[in-house]
Amino acid sequence: MNHKSTIEPTNLHLEQQFWGEGFNHIMGLDEAGRGCLAGPVVAAGVVLPMDGTLEGVTDSKVLTPQKREELFDRIYIEAIVVQVWSQPVDVIDEMNILHASLDAMRHCAETSNPVPDLLLVDGNQRVPTLIPQQTIVKGDMKSATIAAASIIAKVTRDRIMENLSKEYPAYDWATNKGYPTKAHRDAIREHGITPHHRSSFRLL
C-alpha cells in the first residue's frame, strides 16, 4: 500500500475556524484500543499552536508504525499540551468500553494545564464534561489536533501491549496489540485468559 497517497498536509481548517471565533486552546481528543480483547483503552488530548507546521499528521491507522513513531516524538516537542489517560481492564469491565473511553477523554481535558476552552472529539459521542465541545465523525481525517491525539494514543497503547507481550508471549500482543485476531482467540482457547483480558467482552 502506498501510504503517501492517503496522507494530506496538516489540516487545521477546523481549528482556524474556531480560533477565528475566539477560542485559544483547542484540544483534539481520540482513543486507541476500544475494539481490543485485552489491555487498557488509552485516550490522548493534544493542543497545537496556532502556527503549527506538523506536516503529515493524519489518522494514525493509515500511517506506518515508523511514521507514527516519528510523528509521536514531533508532537511531544511541538504541541502546547499533550495529555494521556489509560483506563485499565477493571474500569472497562465496570463502566463498559464506551463510557471508559469517554471518561478517559474527560480526564485528558480536565487535567490539562491550561484547561482547553474547546474540545474537538473524534466520533459522535460527547465527553462528559462542561468544557465546550464539538464531536466530529472521522475527525482524525479532518482535524490536525484530533489526528495528533490519535497518534499519541495509538503509539502509547502499542508500547503498553508490546511490554505486556513479554510477560504473556503466548498471546502475541506485540503483533496483534490485543485485537481479536484468529491467533489471539486461538491462544485464549489454548491458554485461558490473563488478568489483562476484558471479561465483559466476548473473548471466544
CATH number at residue 10: 3.30.420.10
So what's the pLDDT on residue 10? 59
For 109-126, write each residue's pLDDT tens digit. Answer: 999 999 999 999 999 999
Count of beta carbons in the 10 Å neighbourhood of residue 92: 25
Question: CB of 33 within 8 A of CB of 39?
Answer: yes
For 10-54, write each residue's pLDDT tens digit. Answer: 588 899 999 999 999 999 999 999 999 999 999 999 999 998 767
Q: Is residue 104 part of a domain?
A: yes
In sequence order, the β-bridge partners of residue 41 are 87
Q: Is residue 200 part of a domain?
A: no
For 167-196, write each residue's pLDDT tens digit. Answer: 999 999 999 999 999 999 999 999 999 999
What is the reported pTM? 0.93
Q: Is residue 198 part of a domain?
A: no
Q: Which domain holds residue 60?
A: 3-162
73, exposed or middle or buried, with CB in 10 Å at 0-12, 13-18, 19+? exposed
Q: Is residue 195 part of a domain?
A: no
Q: Which three cell numbers stand for residue 129?
A: 464534561
Q: Is residue 171 part of a domain?
A: no
Q: Is residue 176 part of a domain?
A: no
Q: In total, how many domains does the chain have?
A: 1
